[in-house]
Structure 1
Amino acid sequence: MGSSIDHAGTWALGSFSRDDQPVFPALVCRDRVLDLSANDRVGRPDSVLRLLEDWGAARAVLDTLAADAPESDWIALDGLEVAAPVAPRQIFQAGANYRTHVIDLAVKHHDPSDGRTPEQVRADAAAQMDSRLEHPPYVFTGLPSAICGPFDDVVLPAHGEKPDWELELAAVIGRPARNLDPSEALDAVAGWTIVNDLTLRELVLRRDMPELGADWLASKNAPTFLPTGPVIVPRSAAPEPADFQLTLKLNGQVMQNESAKDMIFDVARIVAHCSKVATLLPGDLVLTGSPAGNGLVHGRLLRPGDVMDAAITGLGAQRNACVAEA
């Protein structure tokens, strides 16, 4: 990784290790970090999750530490191993939530036997976007065991035929929450991070039982299929999620480059919906969907040796090399 993280605001949160020592939670100020597990002022937490469990109190202390912690307490970022910033208990994943992405997929999967041209399919799909807002967002759950660090290798499963990328903005939950209204949902968000929600495209739909719908367990939860981080940027530093720009490059070529304004359901609607289905817990990740430009549409899926560079404005960047499963 580089020697600095380009994050919004004065500080961010991350998880790091050095010299084969256990992972520690840290305050990040671009090119340096402060080991919070050794800091009495914040209660010596053993993980970022512990901080999020008392986020109301921790946030004020972190503001102070970023401003006045002794210079001798800081560690240079260069040389540290960067882990995923938080180990969540629950992961919620919104599907088909970017207009252009959904329209592109409709055209890609169109069966021309219905007599419509690609242009007609695109127009029909666009017309359906507003009607979707009359219904809840489409959200499924993922496994925390799929998470890896923002600079770890992504292992392409030996049985996988069509591995694909899906860069996403993730909201990190900062307090227990249930039955939220969209008007208050963002108050439950501690901050933001980057997630690349990889998918084995050929396993999304069960060929033996198509009436059962999508098989998200099989298609999205291989180990390393959720590169996460590098940091959590507090919501106070980036309060408007619609302002984020998401960009993913494959071997240097831009594949995804879209504003979060293209979301069908905004972040507040997604978080509120999740809180009505389940109780949100501190540290949970709520993924908000991926913009247009995945490999299926480009006709280019992931292969061993590929390198993905993913970034969201103000949240830093990831770099993951793809390797074959042994």
Structure 2
Amino acid sequence: MIRFQEPGDPKARAGMLVGGRVVPLNEDINSIIEHWDTTECQLDAIAASAAERTGLAAADVELLAPVEPVQVLQTGANYRKHVIDLAAAHRGQGEDEEEVRAKTAAMMDQRAGQGTPYFFIGLPTAIASATEDLTLPSYSKSHDWELELAAVIGRTAFRVTPEEALEYVFGYTMVNDITTREYVFRKDMPAIGSDWYRAKNAPGFLPTGPLLVPAKFFGDPQDVQVTLKLNGQAMQDESTRDMIFEVAKLVSEASQIMPLRPGDLVLTGSPAGNGQHWGRLLQDGDVMEGTITGLGTQLIRCRDEVQTEGSQP
């Protein structure tokens, strides 16, 4: 499933990508998701009957973000190795690195068995397509990448159990959860803690897609590879098996507080290997290539806001 625009037409449309061709659909993406019980068979029939010349050439359309969520729930610190690496990097003076790693690993194991996920809210206005340039805001030089698997809710889920949670997932897409590191914690109000609004919601800070793959075609969400390359060099390359809380647990826990609606996104956290870990944050001219098994490829070029504005006539 995709969303796209044709040249000269500002209207966004939903479609299916079949053999390199885009088959336009009459319904918008959220309507297709919400009424999947009736549209599934129709779309299966359309896909099965699509011929080589059906629809539009994929190269002739502009791909958009494949979803239009009302709510975006983001998950923090959900990959075991990532959390251990962060603890080691921020250990106190004189602390032994191996001891810190071992202690943190034990804590993560305990958290997986007895704890709950950490959620915060993102803004849908930060969503961009999988090929749009990312403007790096001029107020900071600490913008970072976090490639993530995202579950797309298929029907209203409120206080569902982990055992039934995946029944409420329509499918999966890919999101790069861009973060301005220096804005994560408020220096002027340290008692309040993290400030996710300022750190994560600038325009384009949620590159999404290109594909939305229904769950029945995607397979096991706990057995896919998350890989992000920066200028051709692999920075993140981890299996979703390293998640502390699996997708079913995340959807269940998120639904305990607020109803999840069709089309909503539940981001599942980012694996080890972000820029803060490498000591290398995003710069003008960088190219991020993101892949998650079965979900296509993101190709995001970074542009410094000041240099971009300076180049305009």
Q: Is the pair's TM-score, using the shorter chain for normalization, greater than 0.5?
A: yes
Distance 2:296 2:51 in 1: 25
Distance 2:283 2:263 in 1: 32
1:77 aligns with 2:58: yes
1:15 aligns with 2:14: no
Distance 1:69 1:294 in 2: 41
The equivalent residue for 1:39 is none
**C-alpha spacing 1:254/1:306, structure 2 compared with 1 (3 Å):** same
Instruction: Provide the secondary structure at the position in 2 that maps to 1:303.
Output: coil
Which letter maps to 2:180?
Answer: L
Q: Is the 8 A contact 2:224 2:293 kept in 1?
A: yes
Distance 2:185 2:8 in 1: 41
The equivalent residue for 2:46 is 65
Q: CA offset at residue 73 of structure 1? A: 3.5
Decide which of 59, 78, 83 is 1:97's aligned counterpart: 78
Instruction: Provide the secondary structure at the position in 2 that maps to 1:211.
Output: coil
Which letter maps to 1:74?
Answer: G
Q: CA offset at residue 20 of structure 1? A: 2.5
The equivalent residue for 1:122 is 101
1:87 aligns with 2:68: yes
Q: Is the 8 A contact 2:129 2:210 kept in 1?
A: yes
Distance 1:66 1:317 in 2: 22
Decide which of 239, 243, 249 is 2:219's aligned counterpart: 239
Counterparts of residues 1-326 of structure 1 (less than 5 Å)? 13-21=1-9, 22-36=11-25, 44-45=26-27, 47-69=28-50, 72-112=53-93, 115-133=94-112, 134-325=114-305, 326=309
Q: CA offset at residue 232 of structure 1? A: 0.5
Q: CA offset at residue 30 of structure 1? A: 4.1
Instruction: Provide the secondary structure at the position in 2 that maps to 1:248.
Output: strand
Distance 2:295 2:248 in 1: 19
Distance 1:84 1:234 in 2: 15
Which letter maps to 2:108?
Answer: M
Distance 2:142 2:136 in 1: 10
Which letter maps to 1:184?
Answer: E
CA offset digits 1:97-118 (Å, max 9, x no partner): 0001001111112221xx3211
Distance 1:305 1:81 in 2: 22
**Percent identity over paired residues:** 50
Q: CA offset at residue 69 of structure 1? A: 3.8
Q: CA offset at residue 187 of structure 1? A: 0.4
Q: Is the 8 A contact 2:18 2:50 kept in 1?
A: no
Instruction: Provide the secondary structure at the position in 2 that maps to 1:296.
Output: helix
The equivalent residue for 1:8 is none
Instruction: Provide the secondary structure at the position in 2 that maps to 1:129.
Output: helix
Distance 1:282 1:30 in 2: 27
Which letter maps to 1:105?
Answer: L
| 4+ runs deviating over 4 angstroms | none
Larger deviation, residues 247-256 vs 102-111 = 102-111
Distance 2:52 2:30 in 1: 26
Instruction: Say how many residue pairs are matched.
Output: 304
Which letter maps to 2:4?
Answer: F
* Unpaired segments ≥5 residues, structure 1: 1-12, 37-43
Q: CA offset at residue 83 of structure 1? A: 0.3
Which letter maps to 1:108?
Answer: A
Cα-Cα RMSD: 1.1
